[in-house]
């Protein structure tokens, strides 16, 4: 398995864990684009949004709830934060294991970087 996020979940590549449960793992982005930049990923390997089907409804809820929990933990839930999924080349997706970026800790540009 050459997926970097699967290797992070398995502990083969080190990461700074922020949150974990049975379905979800969250860790700090190695190249932060905001004061708080955490990646929330399913433990199950899914390449991205196109791979989602009806069977993933509970997993999607778990990912969103984990993202909000990370924001609360990081102290950015009240001031606000952004949840981003990059899908495909124009969005600049570089890792093909579904992941949500939790960005906050300062006022963010309206869109993008
Ligand atoms: P995306 O462009 O949405 O595919 O984002 C992939 C993100 O993964 C980027 O923000 C990278 O900085 C981040 N990333 C890549 N490798 C690692 C790693 N080993 N640990 C933490 N974050 C990583
Ligand atoms: Zn993976």
Domain annotation covers residue 83? yes
Q: Is the pTM of this model over 0.85?
A: yes
pLDDT for 112 beyond 60: no
pLDDT for 96 beyond 60: yes
How far is it, in rounded angstroms, from Cα 55 to Cα 50? Answer: 13
Q: How far is ligand 1, taken at its centre, from the CA of residue 70, in Å?
A: 17
pLDDT, tens only, 26-44: 999 999 999 999 999 999 9
CATH of the domain at 76: 3.30.428.10
Residue 1: the pLDDT is 72
DSSP line for 86-105: --SGGGT----S--EEEEES
**What phi and psi, each to the nearest 5 degrees, are found at residue 36?**
-115, 120
Instruction: Pick the ligand that lies closest to the CA of residue 1.
Output: 2
Ligand 1 pocket check for 94: Cβ under 6 Å: yes
Token output for 49: 């949004």
Domain annotation covers residue 31? yes
Q: What is the mean pLDDT of residues 78-104?
A: 97
For residue 84, the enclosing domain spans 4-104
Per-residue pLDDT band at 24 (split at 50, 70, 90) = very high
Total domain count, the chain: 1
């Amino acid at each position: 398995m050459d997926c970097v996020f699967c290797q992070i979940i398995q502990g083969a590549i080190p990461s700074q864990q922020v949150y974990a449960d049975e379905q979800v793992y969250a860790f700090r982005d190695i190249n932060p684009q905001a004061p708080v930049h955490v990646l929330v990923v399913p433990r199950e390997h899914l390449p991205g949004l196109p791979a989602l089907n009806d069977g993933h409804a509970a997993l999607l809820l778990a990912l969103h709830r984990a993202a909000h929990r990370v924001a609360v933990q990081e102290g950015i839930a009240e001031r606000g934060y952004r949840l981003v999924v990059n899908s495909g080349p124009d969005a600049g997706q570089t890792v093909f294991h579904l992941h949500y970026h939790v960005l906050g800790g300062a006022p963010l540009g309206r869109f993008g970087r």
